């Protein structure tokens, strides 16, 4: 069956522009996670959705970052007024639930802010 898909796969944008990253989770997965991986760093947790709600937004690096999930399925991560330090690979994962449930990751979106 289809795995987690993310679009675009690569995005180059100018500093100050807004970008929107999309994640299509595996059908039926109620949990959805966003992470980012900067060069030489581990995965940094950004936000978790259970259904459409994200109880904890404290992982988002700044108020320029926002995320939503509609219909318990597709999620979008929006970065406003992008900065060069936002350059990273943004990874989405979905799972049947929190905790020990296996997370299935998408291939990621490589964002480059020039």
Q: Check: CB of residue 24 under 8 Å from CB of residue 74.
A: yes
Q: Judged by CB under 8 A, does residue 74 bind another protein?
A: no
Distance from C-alpha of 49 to C-alpha of 97, rounded to nearest angstrom: 10
Q: Check: CB of residue 60 under 8 Å from CB of residue 47.
A: yes
Stretch that binds another protein, among 14-22, 60-68, 73-81, 106-114 (CB under 8 A): 106-114
The least distance separating another protein from the CB of residue 3, rounded to whole angstroms, comes to 9
Q: Which of residues 82-101 bind another protein (CB under 8 A)?
A: 91, 93, 98-100
Q: Check: CB of residue 19 under 8 Å from CB of residue 111.
A: yes
User: Between residues 81 and 101, which has the closer beta carbon with respect to another protein?
Assistant: 101
Q: Judged by CB under 8 A, does residue 106 bind another protein?
A: yes
Structure tokens at 32: 């959805």
Q: Check: CB of residue 71 under 8 Å from CB of residue 18.
A: no
Task: Name the residues that contact another protein, by CB under 8 A.
Answer: 4, 33, 35, 40-45, 48, 50, 55-56, 58-59, 91, 93, 98-100, 102-108
């Amino acid at each position: 069956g289809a795995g987690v898909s993310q679009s675009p796969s690569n995005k180059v944008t100018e500093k100050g522009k807004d970008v929107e990253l999309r994640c299509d989770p595996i059908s039926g997965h109620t949990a959805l996670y966003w992470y980012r991986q900067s060069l030489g760093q581990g995965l940094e947790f950004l936000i978790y959705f259970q259904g459409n709600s994200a109880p904890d937004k404290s992982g988002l690096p700044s108020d320029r970052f926002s995320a939503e999930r509609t219909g318990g399925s597709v999620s979008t991560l929006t970065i406003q007024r992008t900065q060069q330090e936002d350059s990273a690979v943004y990874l989405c994962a979905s799972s049947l639930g929190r905790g020990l449930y296996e997370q299935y990751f998408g291939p990621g979106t490589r964002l480059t802010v020039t």
